[in-house]
Structure 1
């Protein structure tokens, strides 16, 4: 009997729960009014874009009248001047995954939008913006829109992730698969040590067909299929390309000297052999005798058309190389201080000949000493 009563109670509870659920299962209301009031930025506000900083612009608006309290999602739509938002340049969800009545957008992203809208670098232009509100499948464009005046700096809105140099003037020739890759030193900034001979070259973001192409005109990086002409004998260069400012630098590199600190002079010369490598096949090494022992410290001097540059260790003072990680041999720009930022030869190099290679390649700027 007790079991039958418990079973009956459970059935009654289940029926009550089901009935309650049915009563609460109301159809979702998709009624929605458009956003009608835009708060900031003001109409025709002038923004001088600084995409290399953390600067941003705050877009704010008032929520539409919505009596049933349903969830509304917001997108800010940007269009070209004179556009009607039927095919906007882009739409971006508001802060908080689309639920907040504001959008914080960086100057970097606004620079990309301006570029997509046809506003060229080093020029000014206008964008229209409005807010699209949506509930379920019902999307309502705002009944109000505003204009934003944007002033773009020099440089590219979209920096390449990778960069290659190719063409008849380059070490890889015209075979795009053999294009010389550059080292990325920071976002949008690239560098390469390479040789150029008579011919032409261009830059590309892929070492295969279909990549974006760039060329240099009066020291400015431009996108397009044009090429750069090179004349005269083959020479070794350090080439720098900064897409954040669309500028480039070129420096002829003549050789690299092996500088031994105790002598205060170079004891050998490394010449360029290709693929970013400078090499000295044979240099005689003899440590300097001090009262406290024999000194084995060294670093490098880069001889360029503009003068000497020193390359050495990230450490001001170093230990012997045995058992050290690969980073021990990395090269960075250093001062000409006689003893600072030097490396140490392996003890076995004393009174021996060594082969020295400096590899200035995309993977790392490093060096290797081999005792002969």
Structure 2
């Protein structure tokens, strides 16, 4: 047998094998797709009209009777949730059963049920009804159960955490795209930002390709997640605001800041910053005036915010706290945190040694930049020192 004939024979044999495999796969696929499956005939739990008070760490178990496939193969199940008046043609949410969809039961966390309730239009801390049923399937064939049941849920008074997503402010009344800072407490966020009167603002979070949207309620003490692009909240006065969001309690605080000042502790001399943008204030050509004291001079100071209601918020060292006079480049010394009020209350800063001349207490002029931004600790810096 010559080489050419061997090659032709081998190629023909290979072609026959490939066609056989493809035909076999097609037949198997057809038989898989053609397998009929019965509907679930009976539900076990939860009972119809069961009341469930959702809790952040809770779960509810859904269980039903087994369905069968015509070839006695594995049946897959989904739990379908819909609004109280829905018919499951476009369910609000679908949950696969346990064990990758093969179990006749599904453990659904209250966090998921809370999300489903939100999607069904039930407000935070309010009670509302959801319908559920079970879909059995095999391949492309599926059947809905012969019944559906209702559950009455009371939503958790909280908003699901961001799960690693980043939060931003947006809207015509905002400094669009400014990032909101995650505070030290889990689920709490802060932003210092400028808002325009009577123009909307709201928040969004991104993680990968998904986006979530949040809006502060008109009472300005709470907020909620929404699936639609919201009209947005508004403020009545243009100005700089501090906004605090607590996802665990769905709570919000919106405070207008009238002014931010550097206050020399000994003399109570106050000099105001000018707001620049996106959580940054500037104080240009600030003349450091140290206070004469019995021991020579005093260099202590605080940062003080005066709010629209007249109250004051004092800020001092975030810590670790230093009692000595720092160098201008000491890392972390000028990082800020709220502290006690009063002339001497709480932690205080000290002007750095590069700005302190005991023989000339008013010698130095400097620029001060205060940054309350998401990318680093709240802090302030001295630059462009001039004698």
Q: TM-score, normalised by structure 1?
A: 0.68
Residues 48-86 of structure 1, C-alpha deviations (whole Å, 9 max, x = no match): 335xx3333232334446797743332211122243333
Aligned partner of 1:315 in structure 2 is 319
| Structure 1 residues 119 and 206: CA distance shift in structure 2, 3 A | closer
For the residues of structure 2 that align with 1:62 and 1:322, how far apart are their CA atoms?
Answer: 73
Once residues 360 and 235 of structure 1 are traced to their aligned partners in structure 2, the CA distance between those partners, rounded to angstroms, is: 16
Mapped contact 2:53–2:155 kept (Cα < 8 A): yes
Give the structure with the higher percent strand. Answer: 1
- SS for the counterpart of 2:198 is strand
Give, in whole Å, the separation in 1 of the partners of 2:333 and 2:60.
Answer: 44
Q: Separation in 1 of the partners of 2:66 and 2:150?
A: 20
Unaligned ranges ≥5, structure 1: 1-24, 173-177
In the other structure, the counterpart of 2:138 is: 135
Please give the alpha-carbon distance, in whole angstroms, between the structure 1 residues aligned to 2:141 and 2:291. Answer: 81
User: 1:368 Cα shift?
Assistant: 1.0
What's the counterpart of residue 256 of structure 1?
A: 260
- For residue 331 of structure 1, the aligned residue among 321, 332, 336 is 336
User: CA offsets per residue over residues 95-138 of structure 1, 9 Å max, x none?
Assistant: 33323443333333222212322334454322111222333333
1:213–1:225: 8 Å Cα contact kept in structure 2?
no
Task: Determine the structure 1 residue equivalent to 2:198.
Answer: 200
Contact preservation (8 Å) 1:121, 1:154 = yes
The answer to whether the aligner puts 1:357 opposite 2:369 as a matched pair is: yes
1:69, 1:313 → 2: CA distance? Answer: 71
**SS across alignment from 2:303:** strand
Shift of 1:287: 8.3
1:44 shift after superposition: 0.7
Aligned partner of residue 200 in structure 1, secondary structure: coil
- Over 3 Å counting, the alpha-carbon distance change for 1:184 and 1:100 in structure 2 is farther
- Matched with 1:183 is 180
Alignment match, 1:367 = 380
What TM-score results when the alignment is normalised by the length of structure 2?
0.66
CA distance in 2 between partners of 1:213 and 1:315 (Å): 33
2:107 corresponding residue in structure 1 = 104
CA drift at 1:189? 5.9
2:209 maps to: none
Q: Please, which runs of 5 or more residues in structure 2 have no aligned partner?
A: 1-24, 206-211, 358-363
Residues in 2 aligned to 1:108 and 1:306: alpha-carbon distance in whole angstroms:
40
Computed over aligned residues only, the root mean square deviation of the Cα atoms, in angstroms, reads 4.4
Q: CA deviation at 1:185?
A: 3.6
> Is 2:202–2:232's contact at 8 Å kept on the other side of the alignment?
no
Matches within 5 A, 1:47-86: 47-50=52-55, 53-64=56-67, 70-86=73-89
Other-structure match for 1:217: 218
Structure 1 residues 123 and 361, CA, compared in 2 at 3 Å: closer, same or farther? same
Distance (whole Å) between structure 1 residues aligned to residue 300 and residue 39 of structure 2 = 73
Map residues 262-273 of structure 1 onto 2, 5 A cutoff.
263=266, 266-273=268-275
For the 8 Å contact 2:171–2:232, the answer to whether it is kept is: no
